[in-house]
Structure 1
Amino acid sequence: MKEILREIGMIARALDSISNIEFKEYDLTKGQYLYLVRICENPGIIQEKLAEMLKADRTTAARAIKKLEINGFIEKKNDEHNQKIKNLFPTEKGKNVFPFIKKENDHSNKVALQGFSRVEVETIFNLLQRVRKNVEVDWEFVKKGNKRNY
């Protein structure tokens, strides 16, 4: 069987490394920019939904969100219906950095898909969505404390 996940992992690590270097001047590190982008795209999102969206465990998400808050990129606000729930919003600083992050993402997509036809790009996208959906089943299963049979 082809080592597809190995290839996906190498691509993800390379792009993450590039982003960490390029976003250093904004004090964004270790994938925090991923959280900031999703908060900018979904103002008012709650931490649990954000972690689920990024397929991150709660502890990792809480750490990244805390750093973003400390560095002034986001703020937590009480939910108007339930005071126990904190909604996440970008601050002006976060909103100002968002276009740069988006621009970097668009550039990385363009570079990664260079030389592919529109049909090939659509095919890659659809196939990767299917891969993600397959993996999500195991992710949910293991997240609930279950063990997979190999």
Structure 2
Amino acid sequence: MDSKQPHIGRWISCLYRQMQCLLDRAFEPFGLGYGNYAFLLVLRRQDGQTQEYLSSELGFDKGTTARSLKKLEQLGYIQRKRSKIDGRANQVFLTHKGQNVLPFVEQILADLMTEILGDMTAKERQIACSLIYRMASNALSLKHSEGGKTSCLFNKE
């Protein structure tokens, strides 16, 4: 790697960790953690999804999804029911309490993004989002083309 090339991964990782910390703090009064709120947002779009769909949609493994949903269920935000179509599958539904917490979750996310994007112009915001999306897509393509191998791609010459 060229020593003059910026270490983009470092800054993306820093941004991710700081956002995670800030969101954990903001969601604490609701009993939510950084990863839990995303399930509520997906269910708002389409309630009654299966756990498998939620795992796939959010990119979480099945174990992480099960633990998150268990916590959300204990907090009273969701309810899981056996699917009438496939008795092996659980469908997940927002409860009244879950629906009521969503405006607060969305406001917290909007406020945080406003703060993080700070004094960027609308054009800069669009460019930043587009570039990060392209980098993430490229990384996912590399991961899939390597067949999930954990070997370092950058050692190949």
Say yes or no: TM over 0.5.
yes
Stretch moving more, 89-98 or 3-12? 3-12
Between stretches 113-122 and 102-111, larger displacement belongs to 113-122
1:28 equivalent in structure 2: 32
Coordinate RMSD, CA, aligned: 2.1
Give ranges in structure 1 of 5+ residues lacking alignment: none
Name 2:55's counterpart in structure 1: 51
Q: Distance in 1 between matches of 2:52 and 2:145?
A: 17
Q: TM-score, normalised by structure 2?
A: 0.82
Structure 1 moving runs of 4+ over 6 Å: none
Aligned residue number for residue 121 of structure 2: 117
Size of the alignment, in residue pairs?
A: 149
Q: Is the 8 A contact 2:77 2:95 kept in 1?
A: yes
Q: Quick one: distance in 2 between partners of 1:66 and 1:14?
A: 26
Q: Evaluate the alpha carbon distance shift between residue 138 and residue 63 of structure 1 in structure 2; reply closer, same or farther with a 3 A threshold.
A: farther
Give the fraction of aligned pairs with identical amino acids, expressed as a percent.
26
Larger Rg: 2
Runs of 5+ unmatched residues, structure 2: none
Q: Normalization by structure 1: what TM-score?
A: 0.85
Provide the rounded CA distance (Å) in 1 between the counterparts of 2:148 and 2:140.
14
Aligned pairs for 1:1-150 within 5 A: 1-140=5-144, 146-150=149-153
Contact 1:40 1:89 survives alignment (8 Å): no
